[in-house]
Amino acid sequence: MSEIHIKTEQLQVVPGLLGGFIFFLGLCSLIVKERLYLSETLLAMVFGILIGPYVLDWVDPSEWISNKDVLSQEFSRYALAIEVMIAGVTLPKKYLMREWKSVAMLLLPIMTTMWLVSSAILKFTFKIPFLHALAIGACIAPTDPVLANAILKGVFAEQHVPLRLRNILTAESGANDGLGYPFLFFALYLMRLPSGKAIGTWFYATWVYQILLSAVIGAVAGYIARKALRYAETAGWVDKESFLSSSITLALLLVGVCTIIGTDDIFCCFIAGNSFTWDDWFRIESEDTGLQETLNGLISMSFFIYFGTIIPWSAYTSENVLDPWRIVVVIVLVMCLRRLPMIMLSYRLIPAIRTWQEALFAGWFGPIGVSALFYSIETIKQLEENENSNGGRIGEIVYPIICAIVFGSVLVHGVTIPLVLMGKRVKTTLSVSASSVWNQPGRMMSFRNLSARRRGRNNDDSDSQANIPGIGVISTIDKGGLPPYISSPPGPDDAKQGCEFKTQQTVGADTEESKIESRPDDGFSPTTEVTFNNSTTTDRDGLYTVGRSGGGSFPSAPEQAAVANERGDIT
């Protein structure tokens, strides 16, 4: 009889820890994401820190491979490539062409400002040469698509952030990851070459060969892949599994090709994703499968568990100017000054951002994550390959600084929404004008949102009209709240038990349906009935226009006013 051996090597322990965390988090994922509004990436990072070498010492990636930087860079490379491909695929038809003004503003003046502001903060905090600060600042200039997806795809974003704003932030996070190369190499070339030669080399080697060539490769590859896949699907050659995984396999193919020829693989994948779904066909056919959301969750959690195990906590000492207080100051200043002020000052020049509230959200949620880690390791690699780089101590401090900033970004952005909503009940507020429903000007009726699901095919971000079954077409003139329709006639006991409602908002062909339930003490009764006539009726406040006939029961004005006054719900 053979002896029983318990294997405790890390290569056997890691799959169990990784799979166990993801499985048990999945068991309570609805509570974590839709009630607590906690970020999965934050929990994954904390878990990685706990099992890492500085706490429980169960996992230490430096024991797996002699050069940990190689593993970190390749892990981040493929995570970014898949994420930017997903970002490109999920954007609406011909999005980059339709929103070129907004994309150009975010990628050129705003990203440049983010780079310069971050570099200035690093220079004055750590007292390093400005060129060194420019190189480190280039690492944190891009917004991260992995963390951006975690923020923009959550329940909070779907309920509170317009689809138009989510799309432009997705496009920005996908595009600017690849555009980190020009900022990084601008500083690196100036370190080791005379200024004139450095600018010339920077132009043709970075902008032409890396950026322009990768864009051409991505556009052509996406076009050919789209035509080939459509032909194969029409001919009945491709099965469902291969069809759905085609965008991911295309990303892996492009990473391999671009790595071989030395061009920008990340930017190439984003352009390829846009080209692949330029006519919206693949996005429409694949959006209801949930594959992209599942893959995004697995990648983000796996990477940030890994990231939690590689944070170099021992590097933060006064011996290498990385004093803890300097690290804290940098994190706070970068979070507050890197992006937010510029977005607030220039949002009127960005068509996709229409209000200061949207500018505030877009300015605050510019996360720093996987891409920053990728560029920090690329910086070290370039310095090691060029002995005359004059990099000084930048090779020693860039990685710890970037890890600290990424840690701060994951922490700050991961707890922002829970802190904002702490102590409050999340509500879906339906604004109904008194002139057409309650005859009580300025009153609003509040409900609890029980569940929401998105369906439909067209991911259009227009703000045109809504179609309310049983009532008709509602044009949202001032984006006011939409009145509910009652899914079933209320009975005598509804005032005690609460009535069930539904609202259905159609933006283009994209329908969002929410089931809404009144609280038992909301005072709903079947006594006050409102009927919308066949003729079109517009309320005095210009919030909506109603056509066709329909009906529904609402609380009487005295009942609603009494309940609202008692609760303080009147806004």
Q: Which amino acid is at 479?
A: K
Distance, CA of 267 to chain centre: 17
DSSP 8-state class, residue 36: S
**pLDDT at residue number 416:** 83
**What is the full per-residue pLDDT of the chain (571 aa) written as tens digits?**
456 666 667 777 888 999 999 999 999 988 888 788 888 999 999 999 999 999 999 999 988 888 889 999 999 999 999 999 999 999 999 999 999 999 999 999 999 999 999 999 999 999 999 999 999 999 999 999 888 877 787 677 777 889 999 999 999 999 998 899 999 999 999 999 999 999 999 999 999 999 999 999 999 999 999 999 999 999 999 998 899 999 999 999 999 999 999 999 999 999 999 999 999 999 988 887 878 788 888 999 999 999 999 999 999 987 778 999 999 999 999 999 999 999 999 999 999 999 999 999 999 989 999 999 999 999 999 998 887 777 778 888 999 999 999 999 999 988 887 777 764 544 433 333 333 333 443 333 333 333 333 333 344 444 433 333 333 333 333 333 333 333 333 344 333 333 333 333 333 333 333 333 333 333 333 333 333 333 333 333 333 333 333 334 344 444 444 444 444 443 3
Return the pLDDT at 3: 67
pLDDT in the model for residue 248: 93
pLDDT of residue 212: 96
486 Cβ contact partners less than 8 Å away, ≥ 6 residues apart? 499, 501, 552, 553
Give 196: exposed, middle or buried? Use CB within 10 Å, 0-12, 13-18, 19+. exposed
Q: Is the pTM of this model over 0.85?
A: no
CB neighbourhood size of 324 (10 A): 11
Distance CA 514, CA 500 (A): 11
Distances in Å between the Cα of 310 and the Cα atoms of 59, 222, 385, 533 are 10, 35, 23, 65
Structure tokens at 559: 């009942």
The structure tokens 């690492």 sit at 139
Write down the residue that tokens 């509040």 correspond to. 446
CA distance 233 to 556: 56
Angle at 287 between CA 282 and CA 293, to 5 degrees: 125
DSSP β-bridge partners for residue 551: 531
**Spatial distance between the Cα atoms of 340 and 346, rounded to a whole number of angstroms:** 10
